């Protein structure tokens, strides 16, 4: 139930984010979720795409530094307190979140969030036990 | 102009007498050199087995040059010429490739060094009544301790604060009415830019003089310093291989630095061919130390470029004057007064696995101070997507470099292939510091 995120090292240089997005566009790869972690002079672009293997191949061929990371995508009820309910479950079960971000799009009345856990397997079992819907990689392409 | 001397007899003796002392001390130095493993081999190869083989000063030319590599290769004891118990001080410098160099001093060596500093200090007109704030680093760097001993010998009131901590420096200058500073030119300019925030004005200070050294600077920088602080600034020169600071010092005429020639034989050579050049010609400065028994050095190549003035100085000193250092015959960088070789940086950066194949060293001015930026490409196979790991990598490079080169660099991480690549010899140093 884990899905693949691509982390890309970007130095702080004009047009670098554009370079990534334009490359993926040319290769007909769709970005589903996106987040940038930045420091003073470099950043890490994290993306979830419909065709991760093709994306990594294209990125590496074009000289980008990319790494695959397992993440967990979770469906969250799109109403006030929806995220808090999930965080409460994770908190009570001592699951640590390294970072999280939202999907570019959402399905109907649910919001989709991406979590990076220090222990993804434990997180998945805790979430499943609590009847939280986890999105699989098959679903990503079809969203 | 009022001219003072610490040792008038020695400083104004005629050239013949001076050369006589040089010859006698050269023989003595050779006798100590022959006690070292390194020189014994080297001098015997040229048939020099006894000091008596030296008949006149021109015989010095038969002796091959000594280089920093020789010092490294003979670390730690290959150049020690006295019994270990005669050594009272050790100064080491970090090596360009991880191997340091060492200089040993006997009691007499320290006294001789201190004597030269006392001469230099008094030549600027400073003396017993002055309050001397020594802003050069103490410790293994000879700049701090050298002037400290000299100033105490002259009888100045010494404030041994060392480098850094600008607020406290300014406070002490105010509280103790400091009159004389020993400082790098870049740090003195930096202090000026910080006066206002420390609620101090130049008029609140009692400054009269600054001994500036440890980094090359132009006449314009001196004039700027003198104008900003309304003081006289005196250039000074030295290197640990020749004991430390005080090899040469400017007098009140501020027109070249008197080399204490009863302590050092100076030659200027063509750095490419090794041929000795004449007075007035610019080349690499080569010294023979005549006043250090524990670590004798003969014809040591400093890699500093300068020339010797032909004319005599109106102050009456017969010791010839060395010009400002105009450059280096190697790739050594001087960053806020600290000597750094690009190879030292390479050594550190390249042993870290997460670093890729290319790096660049950039120098910029941050106000009056120098800023060293080391740009490294990351190694793509070890990229984990974790921002903490990259921050840790930056900290590690920074810490390792600080341990090796003493100064604190700024680290930038770059994508592989993004830094300029050079065919053949890479030009990895970009010096954007504007000459003042």
Residues 6+ apart with CB under 8 A from B175: none
Model pLDDT, residue B421: 72
Model pLDDT, residue A5: 94
Name chain A contacts of B386, Cβ cutoff 8 Å: 7
Would you say B211 and B147 are in contact if contact means Cβ atoms under 8 Å apart? Answer: yes
Interface test with A, best of B371, B415, B419, B420 (most A CBs within 10 A): B415
Model pLDDT, residue A105: 67
Model pLDDT, residue A63: 87
* CA closest to B376 among chain A residues: A11
Contact A63 B390 (CB under 8 A): no
CA dist B216 and B324 (Å) reads: 7
Interface test with A, best of B357, B371, B378, B385 (most A CBs within 10 A): B385
Which pLDDT tens digit goes with each residue over B297-339?
999 999 999 999 999 999 999 999 999 998 888 888 999 888 8
Model pLDDT, residue B338: 86
* CA closest to A43 among chain B residues: B387
Model pLDDT, residue A41: 81
For chain B, the domains span 8-329, 335-431
What is the DSSP code string of A24-92? Answer: HHHTT--EEEEEEEE-SSEEEEEEEES-HHHHHHHHHHTT-EEEEEEEEEEEEESSTTHHHHHHHHHHH
Name chain B contacts of A11, Cβ cutoff 8 Å: 412-415, 418
The ipTM assigned to this model is 0.81
* CA closest to A42 among chain B residues: B413
User: What is Dmax (Cα atoms) for chain B?
Assistant: 73
Residue B190 to residues B39, B121, B193, Cα–Cα distance (Å): 44, 24, 5
Name chain A contacts of B390, Cβ cutoff 8 Å: 9, 39, 42, 44
Category of B207 on φ-ψ map: left (φ > 0), alpha (ψ -120 to 50) or beta: beta
* CA closest to A36 among chain B residues: B387
Q: Is B97 a residue whose pLDDT tops 80?
A: no
Model pLDDT, residue B218: 85
CA dist B247 and B112 (Å) reads: 11
Q: What is the CATH number of domain B8-329?
A: 3.40.50.12780
Would you say B364 and B433 are in contact if contact means Cβ atoms under 8 Å apart? Answer: yes
* 3-class secondary-structure state, position A6: strand
Q: Is A140 a residue whose pLDDT tops 80?
A: no
Which pair of structure tokens corresponds to residue B137?
Answer: 């680093």
* 3-class secondary-structure state, position A5: strand
Would you say B356 and B375 are in contact if contact means Cβ atoms under 8 Å apart? Answer: no
Nearest to A42 among B390, B416, B417 (CB): B390
Model pLDDT, residue B425: 52
Nearest Cα of chain A lies from the Cα of B416 at a distance, in angstroms, of: 7
For chain A, the domains span 3-70, 71-137
Nearest to B416 among A5, A13, A65 (CB): A65
Model pLDDT, residue B86: 98
Nearest Cα of chain B lies from the Cα of A104 at a distance, in angstroms, of: 20
Which pLDDT tens digit goes with each residue over A30-78?
998 999 998 888 999 999 999 999 999 999 989 899 999 999 999 888 8
Nearest Cα of chain A lies from the Cα of B191 at a distance, in angstroms, of: 28
- What is the distance of C-alpha B419 from the center of its chain? 32
Q: What is the CATH number of domain A3-70?
A: 3.30.2130.10
Of B56-60, B93-97, B414-418, the one with minimum mean pLDDT is B93-97
Nearest Cα of chain A lies from the Cα of B125 at a distance, in angstroms, of: 50
Domain A71-137 falls under CATH 3.40.140.10: no
Q: Which CATH class is domain B335-431?
A: alpha beta
Nearest to B415 among A11, A46, A68 (CB): A11
Residue B234 to residues B212, B225, B336, Cα–Cα distance (Å): 6, 11, 18
pLDDT band at B382 (very low <50, low <70, confident <90, very high): confident
CA dist B103 and B113 (Å) reads: 13
Q: Is B95 a residue whose pLDDT tops 70?
A: no
CA dist B23 and B211 (Å) reads: 31
Would you say B119 and B319 are in contact if contact means Cβ atoms under 8 Å apart? Answer: no
Model pLDDT, residue B423: 55
Residues constituting chain A: 143
CA dist B401 and B399 (Å) reads: 5
CA dist B404 and B297 (Å) reads: 25
Q: Is A143 a residue whose pLDDT tops 70?
A: no
Model pLDDT, residue B161: 97
Nearest to B413 among A42, A46, A69 (CB): A42
Query: Could you tell me which residues are beta bridge partners of residue B306?
Result: B283
Q: Is B396 a residue whose pLDDT tops 60?
A: yes
Model pLDDT, residue B426: 58
Name chain A contacts of B385, Cβ cutoff 8 Å: 5, 7, 44, 46, 67-69
* CA closest to A40 among chain B residues: B412
Which pLDDT tens digit goes with each residue over B351-373?
888 888 788 999 999 888 999 99
Model pLDDT, residue B293: 98
Q: Give residue ranges of B with CB < 8 Å to any A CB.
A: 378, 380, 383-387, 390-391, 412-418
Contact A65 B415 (CB under 8 A): yes
pTM: 0.78
* 3-class secondary-structure state, position A2: coil
Which pLDDT tens digit goes with each residue over A73-108?
998 888 899 899 999 999 999 999 999 998 876 666
Which residue, A49, B352, A27, A28, is CA-closest to A8? A49
Residue B354 to residues A45, A70, B394, B410, B428, Cα–Cα distance (Å): 19, 22, 10, 17, 19
* 3-class secondary-structure state, position A23: helix
Which pair of structure tokens corresponds to residue B395?
Answer: 């900290």
What is the DSSP code string of A74-136? Answer: EEEESSTTHHHHHHHHHHHTTPPEEEEEEBSS-BTTEEEEEEEESSHHHHHHHHHHTT--EE-
């Amino acid at each position: 139930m884990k899905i693949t995120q691509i982390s890309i090292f970007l130095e702080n240089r004009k047009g670098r984010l554009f370079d990534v997005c334009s490359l993926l566009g040319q290769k007909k790869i769709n970005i589903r979720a996106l987040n940038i972690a930045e420091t003073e002079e470099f950043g890490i672009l994290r993306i979830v795409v419909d065709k991760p293997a093709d994306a990594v191949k294209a990125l590496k061929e074009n000289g980008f530094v990319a790494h695959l990371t397992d993440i967990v995508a979770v469906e969250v009820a799109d109403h006030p307190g929806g995220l808090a309910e999930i965080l409460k479950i994770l908190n009570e079960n001592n699951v640590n979140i390294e970072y999280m971000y939202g999907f570019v799009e959402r399905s109907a009345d649910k919001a989709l969030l991406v979590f990076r856990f220090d222990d993804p397997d434990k997180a998945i079992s805790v979430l499943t036990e609590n009847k939280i819907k986890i999105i699989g990689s098959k679903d990503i392409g079809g969203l | 102009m009022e001219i003072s001397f610490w040792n008038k007899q020695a400083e104004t003796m005629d050239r013949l007498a001076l050369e006589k002392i040089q010859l006698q001390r050269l023989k003595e130095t050779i006798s100590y050199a022959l006690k070292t493993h390194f020189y014994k081999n080297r001098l015997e190869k040229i048939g020099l087995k006894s000091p008596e083989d030296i008949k006149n000063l021109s015989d010095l030319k038969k002796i091959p040059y000594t280089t920093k590599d020789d010092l490294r290769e003979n670390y730690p004891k290959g150049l020690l010429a006295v019994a270990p118990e005669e050594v009272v001080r050790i100064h080491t410098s970090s090596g360009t490739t991880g191997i340091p160099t060492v200089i040993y001093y006997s009691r007499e060596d320290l006294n001789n060094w201190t004597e030269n500093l006392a001469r230099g200090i008094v030549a600027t007109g400073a003396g017993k009544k002055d309050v001397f704030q020594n802003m050069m680093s103490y410790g293994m760097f000879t700049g701090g301790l050298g002037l400290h001993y000299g100033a105490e010998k002259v009888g100045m009131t010494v404030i041994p604060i060392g480098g850094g901590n600008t607020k406290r420096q300014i406070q002490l200058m105010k509280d103790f009415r400091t009159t004389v500073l020993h400082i790098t030119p870049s740090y003195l300019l930096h202090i000026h830019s910080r006066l206002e925030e420390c609620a101090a004005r130049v008029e609140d200070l009692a400054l009269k003089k600054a001994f500036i050294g440890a980094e090359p600077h132009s006449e314009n920088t001196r004039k700027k310093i003198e104008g900003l602080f309304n003081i006289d600034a005196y250039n000074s020169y030295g290197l640990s291989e020749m004991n430390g600071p005080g090899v040469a010092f400017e007098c009140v005429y501020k027109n070249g630095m008197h080399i204490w020639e009863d302590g050092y034989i100076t030659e200027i050579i063509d750095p490419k061919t090794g041929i000795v050049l004449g007075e007035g010609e610019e080349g690499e400065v080569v010294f023979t130390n005549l006043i250090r028994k524990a670590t004798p050095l003969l014809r040591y190549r400093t890699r500093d470029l300068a020339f010797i003035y032909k004319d005599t100085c109106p102050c009456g000193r017969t010791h010839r004057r060395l010009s400002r250092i105009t450059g280096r015959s190697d790739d050594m960088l001087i960053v806020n007064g600290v000597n750094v070789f690009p190879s030292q940086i390479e050594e550190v950066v390249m042993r870290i696995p997460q670093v890729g194949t290319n790096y660049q060293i950039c120098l910029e001015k941050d106000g009056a101070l120098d800023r060293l930026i080391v740009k490294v490409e990351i190694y793509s196979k070890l990229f984990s997507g974790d921002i903490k790991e990259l921050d840790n990598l930056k900290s590690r490079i920074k810490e390792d470099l600080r341990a090796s080169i003493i100064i604190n660099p700024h680290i930038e991480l770059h994508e592989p292939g993004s830094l300029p690549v050079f065919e053949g010899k890479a030009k990895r140093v970009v010096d954007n510091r504007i000459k003042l």
